[in-house]
Structure 1
Amino acid sequence: MKILVVDDHALVRAGLCQVLQGLAADEVTEVIEAPDCARAFELAASHPDLDLVLLDYHLPDMNGLAALSIFGERHPELPVVILSGSANPSIAQRVLAQGAAGFVTKSGLSDELLHALRQVLSGEVYSPAEFRPAPNTESTSSDIKAPVFTPRQLEVLQLLLGGCSNRDISEQLSLSDETVKNHVSSILRGFGVKTRTQAALEAGRWGYDKAAPVGR
């Protein structure tokens, strides 16, 4: 398990590093630290095996929304969880709408953070109950069609929804890394989204999260 922690306060990073050691009982969690977004982008590029990014919303060189957009463009397969000192529902809803895999406040307990990260690593999206938007009761327009994928893309999608990384998908389906990336990109385009997190939400909307994997 490898996690990138981005926060401009060294004491906060040190505290998070300690908390994150309780994330997985059966494996060591390697934590890489960055004090700002510029360094975070460099580390993300040099560590393609990252499993997750824990990103502070308020950073000296860039806010969370801007940083989230860049991570989404450069690493669409990498889940990003926003950590904020402000318990602001508006911020929570905005970052989740832009593709964050989760939103956690710094005022929360360590157990809440670990619960959130485990949920995200399993392929889900996390936000505190009080920050979740009200359900949209408007019906979907009948002229909007569900995206159609090839059998191989469906296999990739099911593994993606199961929380598998591109590397895991490559190994399980005996595909090259480049082929997996191409399939993931096609899936994102099919759903009209930019990140895996957004794709997971759209997959649930269209019922793809309930489909059985296509046999090889």
Structure 2
Amino acid sequence: MKILVIDDHALVREGLHQVLKGLDENVSVLQAGTCEQAFALADSHVDIDLVLLDYHLPDMTGLQALDVFGKNHPELPIVMLSGSANVQIMRQVLQSGASGFVTKSSLSDELLHAVRLVLNGDVYSPSELGSDFGALSFDGANAKPPLTQRQELVLRELLDGRSNREIGSSLNVSEETVKTHVASILRYFDVQNRTQAVVAAARCGYRPTSAA
């Protein structure tokens, strides 16, 4: 598992690194103090699983950085971190494409919960938003958000009949990461196994990579 942490304070980055070991003792944490450094790392490490992005950075705002990541690396889930618990900011961040928002005053367990949830393909809504987040829409009041680009890549590999290990090798990600994406795909199509997912995906127009 590889996570990119973006914050202009070295002590904060180191603290987050220690917290993230709660996910996996061997988690690989890349650190960047500016957006420029972060974009370079994202370009050179294609196997990043998640980004923790500070809302206040010296060279760009968190929202601006979120927009750049969305254009250049749309498959990367991003959790925004902020010292502010402003509900309007939370809502704006989530509507702009972030997969989660965590305040820096949160306990480490809450951050780990948010990261696990996002890695499973879900969206983490902070408690401060209450039920308001239900009003946030993607393309309509109750529209289901689309699969992420990474999930679509995994799905097409499933359609090719490849195993988790083969998919991991093909996409240059860990087998554990593939399992996480497969679980998200099963939930997305509301099915119980890979075979059912393949059938459901084919009905929705998805095709194997060999047919793309």
Q: TM-score, normalised by structure 1?
A: 0.68
Listed as ranges, the gaps of 5+ residues in structure 1 are 148-155, 182-199
- Does 1:23 find its partner at 2:9? no
Distance 1:17 1:173 in 2: 36
CA contact (8 A) 1:6 1:54 kept: yes
Deviation at 1:170, TM superposition (A): 5.5
Could you say which residue in structure 1 is the equivalent of 2:51?
A: 53
Q: Deviations over 1:96-131 (max 9, x none)?
A: 001000000000000000000000000000021222
CA offsets 1:45-92 (integer angstroms, 9 cap, x no match): 000100000000000000111000000000111001000011111111
Match for residue 210 of structure 1?
190
Secondary structure at the aligned position of 1:214 is classed as: helix
Tell whether the 8 Å contact from 1:65 to 1:95 is kept in structure 2 after alignment.
Answer: yes
Aligned to 2:198, the other structure's residue is in SS state: coil
Distance 1:77 1:105 in 2: 23
2:106 matches 1:129: no
- Cα distance in 2 for partners of 1:134, 1:45 equals 32
Give 1:136 shift: 4.0
Of residues 103, 113, 116, the one that matches 1:118 is 116
CA distance in 2, matches of 1:13, 1:59: 13
Amino acid at match of 1:4: L
| Partner Cα distance (2:102, 2:41) in 1 | 22
Residue 207 of structure 2 aligns with which residue?
none
**1-structure distance, mates of 2:135, 2:125:** 17
**Which of 59, 62, 65 is residue 64 of structure 1 equivalent to?**
62
The structure-2 alpha-carbon separation of the partners of 1:88 and 1:136, relative to structure 1 and needing over 3 Å to count, comes to closer
**Residue 4 (structure 2) aligns with:** 4
Tell me the residue number matched to 2:13.
13
Alignment correspondent of 1:172:
158
- C-alpha distance in structure 2 between counterparts of 1:59 and 1:44, whole Å: 17
Which amino acid in the other structure matches residue 197 of structure 2?
A: P
- Find the residue that maps to 2:57 and give its secondary structure: coil
Alpha-carbon distance between aligned partners in 2 of 1:134 and 1:51, rounded to the nearest angstrom: 24
Matched to 1:79, the amino acid is P
Alpha-carbon distance in structure 1 between the residues aligned to 2:133 and 2:109: 26
For residues 1-36 of structure 1, what are the alpha-carbon distances to aligned partners after superposition, in whole Å with 9 as ceiling and x for unaligned?
A: 000000000000000000001113xx6210000001
CA distance in 2, matches of 1:70, 1:89: 23
Q: Which runs of 5+ in 2 are unaligned?
A: 172-183, 203-212
Change over 3 Å in CA distance of 1:111–1:165 after alignment to 2: farther
- Whole-angstrom distance in 2 between the partners of 1:55 and 1:21: 18
SS of structure 2 residue aligned to 1:94: helix
1:127 match: secondary structure = coil
